[in-house]
Chains A and B, each alone.
Chain A
Amino acid sequence: MKVQVNRDMCEGHGKCQSAAPEIFELRDDEISYVLVDEVPAESVARVEAAIRLCPRQAISWVKEK
């Protein structure tokens, strides 16, 4: 599964990085970046938490075609 951050929405709150530091990184431009191509199974629950907690609701799973 792939996860994405909507850069138009992200305002750098960093909740995702706290929830899943192995997946999300807040960089110098105060935007969150996704560090992995595929989210490993052991991180899925933490990514779900990040999706739920994001104040701007900027994070979502990439829908499979």
Chain B
Amino acid sequence: MTAQPTLSLDEISTGDELMFERGEKNEAFKILRREAPVRWNPGNEEVKGWWDITKYEDVLYVSRNPERFISSEGIVMFEPRDPEMRLQAANGNGKMLITMDPPRHVMLRRLVNKGFTPRAVRAMEGHIREITRDLLDDIAPKGKCDFVIDVASQLPLAVICEMMGLEKQDWPLMFQLTNKVLGAGDPEYQTDVPEDQRGTNDAARLTGNMGTMGMFGFFAQQLEARKAHRRGDLISILVDSEIEGEKLTDEDLLWFCFLLILAGNETTRNAISGGLMTLCEHPAERARLQADMSLLPAAIEEILRWVSPVTHMARIATEDSEIRGQKIAKGDRVVMWYPSVNRDEDIFPEPERFDITRSPNDHLAFGIGEHFCLGAGFARLELRVMFEELFARLPDIQMDGPVERLRSTFIGGIKHLPVRYTPA
């Protein structure tokens, strides 16, 4: 972040994945907030333009008006100009909770939300602690590991896979396919493409499609198995669910599984690894926390604010409106940037200071309103249990080499985080 102190507004495009991979987004958003808080990006020959929304109050406004700013025509920034490409990219629009509008969104969400309430989450704490301890048992004697691969990715993966009733032997496949879908633009995951052709838009499209098809093939089998024998897991509950007297179609069910597995394992992974990295980079705050672990819940909120694992959500305007003096036309795409609003100087005093006791800390890392993250309670619990167990077991854990970030404008991902510690 400090390597690029002289970015200028003209040089900044939020469509530049490499800016995110290099870790320069916070610097860029600071300039956008100051100089062009609601800014039209014209896109390019391949993708349509969009509005960058970088101020907290404006993201609140958009989030609070889900009829005026809808989700069912796409939630990511890039919208292909080519109608054929558009069909390909948009085929999940309107079919998942995350790409659905009220009133159906409310009905569909109510099928599962009792499994995510504070009480449901609390009931899982013991089990989540067991999983965490097992993971730490595996790495503790080694003295070093890749924290993302060995720890941060494994806990959320285990939790969501168990909730969905997936066999342990299938978990690595879920990890792999998740990376292909959400990391489609990153050459590391473009393994279906010859090495010399990686890093292109075509490679990203192919990788994303391979990941999606792989997921659908896998979950089609899972659905068949649940239809033959219910198991009391989330998939079985969905198979039996009805909305207004009608069962969900197989297509509905497949998209539901697709969303649950992605949302459940990619985001918390990055909050955990981003959290450890941030604590390593702020030794005084880390020492304060390790001296008094009762500060952890507030520290987790600050980690969420600081890391903001999901970088954006897009909406489409259904009518003409005005945001901060800019005319938003019906049909325009607006993109809400969570890492930016979580460092908005008008809301957070000294936003560039990582303060584990910050209060109030009303960050929007989980969004707000109609589409508020369903799994927020699990994310917070997994983070708390992870840092409690990690610092009890490996209190001197430190970064051991450079972090490798995901090339993505959508997920603030960390692919690899080498760490070392005194073997225990």
Contact = CB atoms under 8 A, between A and B. Distances in A.
Interface of A: 8-9, 11-14, 30, 53, 55-57
A42 B284 CA distance: 41
Interface size class of B (residues with CB under 8 A): 10 to 19
Interface string B364-382: 0010111010001000000
Determine the main DSSP class of A at the interface with B.
loop
Given A8-B106, A8-B110, A57 B369 contact: yes
B117 A11 contact: yes
A10 B145 CA distance: 42
A28 to B, nearest CB: 9
Interface of B: 63-64, 106, 110, 113-114, 116-119, 362, 366, 368-370, 372, 376
Nearest to A58: B369
Contact of A57 (B106, B114, B362, B368): B368
Contacts of B63: 57
Given A8-B106, A11-B113, A53 B118 contact: no
Contact of B372 (A8, A14, A30, A55): A55
Determine the main DSSP class of B at the interface with A.
helix
B370 A57 contact: yes
B369 A11 contact: no
Given A8-B110, A11-B113, A55 B118 contact: no
B362 to A, nearest CB: 6
Contacts of B117: 11-12, 30
Contacts of B368: 55, 57
A55 B113 CA distance: 14
Contacts of A56: 369-370, 372
A30 B119 contact: yes
Given A55-B366, A55-B368, A55-B372, 12 more contacts: A9-B370, A11-B372, A12-B117, A12-B118, A12-B119, A30-B117, A53-B362, A55-B369, A56-B370, A56-B372, A57-B369, A57-B372
B376 A55 contact: yes
19 contacts: A8-B106, A8-B110, A9-B370, A11-B116, A11-B372, A12-B118, A12-B119, A30-B114, A30-B117, A30-B118, A53-B362, A55-B366, A55-B368, A56-B369, A56-B372, A57-B63, A57-B64, A57-B368, A57-B372
Contacts of B366: 55
Give me the 8 closest cross-chain CB pairs, A-B, nearest first: A57-B369, A55-B372, A30-B117, A12-B117, A8-B106, A56-B372, A11-B113, A57-B64
A59 B260 CA distance: 27
Contact of A9 (B106, B362, B376): B106
A57 B362 CA distance: 14
A5 to B, nearest CB: 14
Contacts of A12: 117-119
Contacts of A30: 114, 117-119
Contacts of A8: 106, 110
A8 B376 CA distance: 18
A13 B392 CA distance: 29
B227 to A, nearest CB: 29
Contacts of B369: 55-57
B360 to A, nearest CB: 9
